Amino acid sequence: MHLFSENLAVEISTYYRNLALGHGVIPKVFTLVNGEGDQYLFFIDDLPIESEEERNQFLAYIVQEHEAVCYARGTLVIVEKNQQYIEFAVIDREDADAIVCSAELTRDMDDKPIGLSEFDKTLVKKGTIIFGGLFEPIPLADSKIEDFDSLWLEMKSKILHRTMGI
């Protein structure tokens, strides 16, 4: 597993903890890191794409276009009103396993997040993760590539971009 993948799991855990407990929000997050350590992070709900299939095509396109070595996607999982988890998975290009992290979220009577357990990390086969195949080449029409390039440029102002330290 690439060092960036392990670092990403730690960073996303901290990021979600700060968002949930510090700001009371749990967005759907997507982030990728390329071989030079450039990290891009954005909220999936900020994408102006309705269909899940097209959203996944866009994510696969940017993973491939930016030559990612790893990426992560996270969300809130609601089992029941009183049983909620923040979960994310880190997918490594070169490894057959992925890191899946899960933490239980506690809310107060006003539905405000007040507690988050430690994130449990588990290794699972990346093929078992719904969005685990974004490294696989996808055939796209030239017009779709142009649309995705335009969308990426439009999204730049909403994207956190930084360089990860090794």
pLDDT tens digits, one per residue of 115-128: 999 999 999 999 99
- E-only strand ranges, 93-165: 97-107, 113-116, 120-125, 160-163
Span 2-58, pLDDT tens digits: 678 999 999 999 999 999 999 999 999 999 999 888 999 999 999 999 899 999 999
78 beta partners:
84
CB 5 within 8 A of CB 39: no
The CA dihedral of 58, 60, 64, 66, to the nearest 10 degrees, is 50
Query: What is the C-alpha end-to-end distance of the chain, expressed in Å?
Result: 14
pLDDT, residue 4, reads 86
Would you state the pLDDT for residue 2? 66
pLDDT band at 165 (very low <50, low <70, confident <90, very high): low
As a whole number, the mean pLDDT across the chain is: 93
**Span 96-102, average pLDDT:** 96
Please list, in sequence order, all residues whose beta carbon lies within 8 angstroms of the beta carbon of residue 142, skipping any fewer than 6 positions away. none
Q: What's the pLDDT score for residue 99?
A: 96
* Residue the block writes with tokens 């009577």: 109
Share of the chain above pLDDT 90, in %: 83
Contacts of 94 by beta carbon, 8 Å cutoff, 6+ apart: 1, 2, 69
Token pair of 36, please? 């030079």
Whole-number Å distance between alpha carbons of 55 and 70: 18
Half-sphere exposure of 35 (CA within 13 A, CB side): 5
CA–chain centroid gap for 139, Å, is: 23
Question: What mean pLDDT comes out for the span 129-147?
Answer: 94
* Structure confidence by residue, pLDDT tens digits, 51-78: 999 999 999 999 999 999 999 999 999 9
- The answer to whether 58 touches 143, Cβ cutoff 8 Å, is no
In this prediction, residue 160 has a pLDDT band, given cuts at 50, 70 and 90, of very high
How high is the pLDDT of residue 166?
A: 55
Any idea what DSSP says for residue 96?
A: S
Percentage of the chain beyond pLDDT 70 is 98
Per-residue pLDDT at 33: 94
pLDDT recorded at residue 73: 97
